[in-house]
Structure 1
């Protein structure tokens, strides 16, 4: 039976929540959109009049589609060129979803999305549904076709992995922004000492170019190595201008709910640098420069208000 307009509207009302769930599960906006669209096609093919709780049905279908995607993604990422990092979302992107609680904000942070790559698909699903969307374990068990006890166990394991992976006290956003501003100022001085003072001893820097943009396949490790890399990254040179096709604008903005450096050239986002700032200093830099993972960021950037760049690189 064809969907009525009421049935279509019911799905569209649920789409923002489904988008936010899928993004957290997959770490990719494009893959999340595909999963939600496939959920709609299944809704379209279902006898919706016999579905007692449509929102629960949609969530179950979507989550299981994402679980299948995560299982196959592991094999695909083994052949991925270089490091695989999540797709960053800029402030104002509706796919970021709810941000009323600390748990919701943390579940979409770039650091946590990266840590969630270490979880099994089931652990990730339970963690997202429980932590970010406050589903009770009874409902999660029904969605995943497991027992309530299994859901609780998966959640506790996932929570421990995430907590152990963070292992440092976070700081408030205003303080984090000040540190990122100091980092940008220091990075343009041409000296490593001011940078080293902002970093933890075990800081890392990793980038995702997807084989399409040059990015080191192995992470830089340690304050001295990372400081030298960052100094070189922002050092002007004709070769860099030729490589990227101009002099990109450097903006301090927000990605995944935290301060981030957005690199823009001719209105196109060509890089998003996500520093992980803790009470001890900057513990990680994760750079997304794969153009396939920056298309949505470019769309959001073009539709949003943003101030003048801090400076132009190169």
Structure 2
């Protein structure tokens, strides 16, 4: 009994980091806690005293569990919701905590979670382990069942999807980023005078029907009218993050990393001349999204990412 408690205590020391790793791989706190619990159950079935590097062993087992879950999810073409969790210690009581999931999603970034969902299971595992947790490719290769050279290609392919590839006009991207940041800040503030400063006089707002509430028009024109429309957008703007939308600076609205709406913006002379709200699932599926870098990216190096939770 004392030995069991000691093993549980040792596992608890690693829970936070395991959770952070699993959440980046799975993007769901329900599934994250299932994966961590399964890792604990597998630890119970081995001689833990014979494990020289417990942290590495747990990371490897968790990664394989997550990979299996991602492959199963991909084969079903749908997210797993409300999965039953195996019985057994140690897991916090009460199930997934919405506040905890919100904190995890904020730490990772909604835009990044959305883009990670576009990767294949092997790409996602390779990218998360190498680019976000600095795990050597040789170790990752054993997890995904590929050669080291193929694993490097998986991570490189994932990296290009995540960061969108080389930027043709970095200076223009930087200018447009500042405009979109001002647009988002103004939308969140709800101050019409501030909103007007970032809109061109003849600005046009378009939206597909899925993005609108009842009675709202699909097209409105003119800064005064559009600025009032932005008041409707303001509630969703708190979940919005900058992203590359088909290669241009735009916004994604993705609470807890679940994509709801894409905002395409047209910018001329540092003013927003048009923007469009896209929420139709078929249109979202055709939209290419990437993470907007903080600065120039060297594609042979890992992308700078938030520090793992825990």
| TM-score range normalised by the length of the shorter chain | 0.5 to 0.7
Pairs within 5 Å for 1:108-187? 108-164=108-164, 179-186=183-190
Residue of structure 2 equivalent to 1:60: 60
Alpha-carbon distance, 1:24 to partner: 0.5
Distance 2:150 2:207 in 1: 35
Residue by residue, what CA displacement relative to the aligned partner does 1:163-212 show, whole Å, maximum 9, x if unpaired? 227957579x99987653312235x6499866756xx99999999xxxxx
Relative distance call for 1:222 and 1:276 in structure 2 (3 A) is: farther
Distance 2:183 2:160 in 1: 28
Distance 1:122 1:128 in 2: 10
* Structure 2 unaligned spans of 5+: 81-96, 259-310
Residue by residue, what CA displacement relative to the aligned partner does 1:87-115 show, whole Å, maximum 9, x if unpaired? 9978993x469xxxxxxx7xx22212111
Alpha-carbon distance, 1:22 to partner: 0.5
Residue of structure 2 equivalent to 1:276: 242
Distance 2:59 2:220 in 1: 44
Larger radius of gyration: 2
Q: How many residues align?
A: 228
Distance 1:114 1:145 in 2: 25
Relative distance call for 1:133 and 1:118 in structure 2 (3 A) is: same
Distance 2:112 2:206 in 1: 16
Relative distance call for 1:38 and 1:133 in structure 2 (3 A) is: same
Residue of structure 2 equivalent to 1:285: 252
Alpha-carbon distance, 1:132 to partner: 0.9
TM-score, normalised relative to structure 1:
0.55
Pairs within 5 Å for 1:38-49? 38-49=38-49
Pairs within 5 Å for 1:1-314? 3-78=3-78, 93=103, 95=104, 108-164=108-164, 179-186=183-190, 189=192, 196=199, 232=229, 234-235=231-232, 261=238, 273-276=239-242, 283-288=250-255
Q: Is the 8 A contact 1:130 1:136 kept in 2?
A: yes
Relative distance call for 1:206 and 1:70 in structure 2 (3 A) is: farther
* Structure 1 unaligned spans of 5+: 81-86, 98-104, 208-213, 237-248, 252-259, 262-272, 292-314
Distance 1:52 1:206 in 2: 58
Distance 1:183 1:138 in 2: 47
Distance 1:150 1:120 in 2: 14
Alpha-carbon distance, 1:234 to partner: 3.8
Give the superposed CA RMSD: 5.2
Distance 2:64 2:209 in 1: 31
TM-score, normalised relative to structure 2:
0.55
Q: Is the 8 A contact 1:67 1:125 kept in 2?
A: yes
